[in-house]
Chains A and B, each alone.
Chain A
Amino acid sequence: MPPKAAKGEYIETDTGNKISRRSHIHGTQHIILGGKTVIQAEAVIRGDLFRSSSSSTSTSSDQNQPAPSAPSVAITVGRYSHISKQAVLRPPSRLHRGVHSFYPLKIGDHVFVGERAVVEAATVGNHVHIGKEAVVGSMAILKDFAVVLDGAVVAPGMVVPSWCVVGGAPARIVGEVGEGYAVEGADGGLARERYRLVGR
């Protein structure tokens, strides 16, 4: 990795994350990046939407909530994941017993989030591809190797099984990816290449 000029577009952290200076990251102390993660310009990552004890106790004081550990994690992103321009990552939320509370958003390794996509999933597995301008609704679960086509709207709470391709609004399973999906260098396996090229 050739050393970049001091004022490049991307800040590279010790673990190899490349984060655009023009990205909007809120609540950084509640975000965990696994390393070699790329966050492009104007991506919005809402780490400030974490589950807080105050919001839950204010409305339902009688319930003793599980005490949140000191730095509650809002968003976890794995290695070699790529957050494209203007994508939005928001922790999912749910109205549970009259209390609106946020839940952590976990994103696996080698995940691609396309431009202007909005992700509110509960879990995004490894090698998941989310197309551009797709919307992944609150508390959805995308298993490993799932593919969300461009412009798809994954309904809240939907589960996309592994190897399945979903598309449309609301998203339905429209097909499956081949067995060779996510082989390094082939379709779905370009995460390392993508990472290498960023910031050059």
Chain B
Amino acid sequence: MSRPFPYAYLSCPCADTPMPDPSRKRRSRESPQKPNPEQPHPPKVPQGNQEEDEEQEEDQTFDPRSPRSNFSLYPPEQLLYCEDCHQIKCPRCITEEIVCWYCPSCLFETPSSMVRSEGNRCARNCFNCPACTAPLAVTTLENVTGGGSQQGPWVLACGYCMWTTLDIGIKFDKPTNIRTQLFKLTDSSRGRQMSKTFTDLKSPLSTYASIDEQFAASSTESKNGDLAEPAPLDPEAQFAALKNFYKNQIAETSSSPTDPLGPDFGAGFSSPGALNRIMSLYTSSSRLSSLYGGTSKKPKSKPPVMREALTASEGLKTPAPDAEDTIIQRMVSDDCGWDGLASLEQRTFQAPDARFVEDLLPLPVLLRTKRSKRCKSCKHILVKPEFKPQSTRFRIRLIALSYIPLPTLRPLVPGAHGGLPTVSSSSLAPNLDALPPLRTVQLLLTLKNHMFDPVRVTLATPSVTPGRVASKVTILCPQFDIGANSDVWDEALQGTSVGDQRASSRGGGLYEKVAEAGKVWDKGRNWTTVVLEVVPGTLPGGTAGARRRVQQATGADVGGTTTRARGGDGISGDDDDGSDDDALPALDWSGQGQDPGPQPQQLQPDEDVLEIPVFVRMEWDSDNQIDQEQSVGRQNADTVKRELAYWMVLGVGKINPKIV
């Protein structure tokens, strides 16, 4: 889900944790309990250009194009905040615990004991269409006549692709307990099946547990009556037999009672024989040959090797000699055709020997979970939802937005209203999907404070964005305060002072205001807006005019002789980016864009996206206003200086390849 421009992502500092120099990188995390008001890193910089200096001090500007940053950037509402660690927590820094299981279709809870015994699928009437995965509805066949008294046979019907269970010849007697009915029907009545390709039995250890167990309800009977075996088992029974067999095998062959996989995973996963075999591959190569040789025939004495299932009663399934031929003949027959074959997507959710559309069985809906979330480092609970599946409330919910200012970006439209962050609707707004290069865009960055303490914020950004497309960025007022998120009624009751401020700001929006350096643009009760000036850079491989202008302006070596440049023009000048990308080989999908490679003219994927890394550092005095804030950090007085710093990335828009 990529977002429309403009957007703001926050970087979770956990991606930097394994950096070799922790003393430096500590700054991108929080130094929570700093009683000393003197910060070791004063935001004030002696030189004039604050951004550049900040960048040098940081010595590692966050690069939104770096491949790593993909894993650390999150939309603000997905981040949590740990009050013990005083850190932003992204989905990678938390552990999850299942609170309850529920069916997403009927929204009934399934007890976890039942999930363990019956599998994680809805045991009621909820099924998905095997052809298209849409939910199936229970409908009666006696619909047409309107005779209300007689309840006809029932079928499962898909409202999306019009598949019904009639297609596989299944009707139900009553509209309840479909799952058990279906199980009974498929258990016995599907002997008519022609196909049987149970090839996966070759390596049962690796496959059967994952495939068969999940689709326990789906079963297809094979008719290999010509085998001399006792009646061939349907997959359900076969699975049970195999499971039983291997459980016994494990019990017999397991030498170490402290198997790490243990009984938690059930027999199928904790095969010490398999584990021993794998381990011996790496430890002693001398054993390797003997083990490989002796696996099937005779177990070696030293490590008790598990044997595989040998008879049908143990779960072995031998396909009939003509099984493949039968399938092929059925495939080429006229009544099958292409439409009669199940697609790969359909077969992945079916029993292993389902090859034709007639083999498809309705899929019981997979259950979903509600999960509580804990901080990985301190085990503090961050999110704890209500237990009931239908409830949307939380008992505990420590989201980052309650602690860090919510950033919102929007283009500054001349003559538009100031005020809270808004979705721009004016036609005067610049088209963010095609920003003209080298033309200054003014943007309003609003930070809204949700804490009950006023916050002092310092913003820093590299004066030129990293990467080949060098866009110039200036934050006109990099240091400002945001008011506390006090009660709205306080403000209303206080009347004069805040009201004046508001009135002035409101008035300021009405006439055309000019962005001034060093002044905040607008300010409200708990939010502050500052202006960003952005000069989008030119894209490599743009028009010749663009390149010339860049060369004149910056003297940068955009690369290539005139002829090469003209060649680049021919490809990319009049086309859009997509065809440009298609036409040229050797794209750098790493997102780095640093090394132009053999074709410097070429625009790398997403290189035209203008993203600005901004370093946010916030300080606030946490005093005893509310309970949330006084958990740990209180030292001597009633106020504690807190500091939190992180990177955020502002997605401004896409740069137009052409200079207008």
Check if A173 sits within 8 Å of B160, measured CB to CB. no
Interfacial chain A residues near B401, Cβ < 8 Å: 180, 183, 186
Contact with A187, one of B77, B135, B422, B426 (Cβ below 8 angstroms): B77
Chain A facing B: main interface SS: loop
B245 on interface, CB distance cutoff 8 Å: no
A8 on interface, CB distance cutoff 8 Å: no
A198 → B minimal CB distance (Å): 8
A172 on interface, CB distance cutoff 8 Å: yes
Check if A153 sits within 8 Å of B160, measured CB to CB. yes
Interfacial chain A residues near B399, Cβ < 8 Å: 178-180, 183
Interface members, chain A 94-152 (any B CB < 8 Å): 95, 97-99, 137-138, 143-145, 149
Given A179-B394, A186-B401; A158-B135 close (CB under 8 Å) = yes
Check if B383 sits within 8 Å of A155, measured CB to CB. no
Interface members, chain A 34-62 (any B CB < 8 Å): 59-60
B106 on interface, CB distance cutoff 8 Å: yes
Interfacial chain B residues near A143, Cβ < 8 Å: 107, 390, 392
Given A60-B148, A98-B144; A193-B421 close (CB under 8 Å) = yes
- Once the chains are docked, how many angstroms separate the CA of A156 from the CA of B129? 12
Chain B 423-436 per-residue mask, 1 if CB under 8 angstroms from chain A, else 0? 11110000000000
Check if B135 sits within 8 Å of A155, measured CB to CB. yes
Chain A 149-174 per-residue mask, 1 if CB under 8 angstroms from chain B, else 0? 10001011111111111000011110
Interfacial chain A residues near B420, Cβ < 8 Å: 185, 193
Check if B148 sits within 8 Å of A161, measured CB to CB. no
Contact with A97, one of B143, B390, B406, B421 (Cβ below 8 angstroms): B143
Interfacial chain A residues near B383, Cβ < 8 Å: 179
Contact with A177, one of B77, B105, B148 (Cβ below 8 angstroms): B77
Chain B facing A: main interface SS: loop
Interface residues on B, range: 35 or more
Interface members, chain B 446-470 (any A CB < 8 Å): 448
Check if B1 sits within 8 Å of A163, measured CB to CB. no
Interfacial chain B residues near A186, Cβ < 8 Å: 76-77, 401, 406
A151 → B minimal CB distance (Å): 12
B549 → A minimal CB distance (Å): 37
Check if B423 sits within 8 Å of A97, measured CB to CB. no
Check if B160 sits within 8 Å of A156, measured CB to CB. yes
Check if A155 sits within 8 Å of B107, measured CB to CB. no
Interfacial chain A residues near B161, Cβ < 8 Å: 170
Interfacial chain A residues near B160, Cβ < 8 Å: 137, 153, 155-156, 170
Check if A97 sits within 8 Å of B79, measured CB to CB. no
- Once the chains are docked, how many angstroms separate the CA of A145 from the CA of B394? 14
Check if B107 sits within 8 Å of A161, measured CB to CB. yes
- Once the chains are docked, how many angstroms separate the CA of A124 from the CA of B268? 43
Interfacial chain A residues near B75, Cβ < 8 Å: 178, 187
Check if B135 sits within 8 Å of A180, measured CB to CB. no
Interfacial chain A residues near B390, Cβ < 8 Å: 143, 162
Check if A159 sits within 8 Å of B421, measured CB to CB. no
A194 on interface, CB distance cutoff 8 Å: yes
Interfacial chain B residues near A164, Cβ < 8 Å: 104, 368
Contact with B105, one of A159, A163, A179, A181 (Cβ below 8 angstroms): A159
B387 → A minimal CB distance (Å): 14
- Once the chains are docked, how many angstroms separate the CA of A186 from the CA of B447? 11
A148 → B minimal CB distance (Å): 12
A57 → B minimal CB distance (Å): 12
Closest 4 CB pairs of A and B: A98-B146, A178-B78, A180-B77, A155-B134
27 contacts between A and B (CB under 8 A): A97-B146, A98-B144, A98-B145, A98-B146, A137-B159, A137-B160, A149-B1, A155-B134, A155-B159, A157-B137, A158-B134, A159-B107, A161-B102, A170-B132, A170-B160, A170-B161, A179-B80, A179-B383, A179-B399, A180-B77, A180-B399, A180-B400, A183-B406, A190-B423, A193-B420, A193-B423, A197-B425
Known: A157-B159, A188-B77, A197-B423. 9 other contacts (CB 8 A): A95-B143, A143-B107, A153-B160, A170-B132, A177-B77, A180-B77, A183-B399, A186-B77, A190-B423
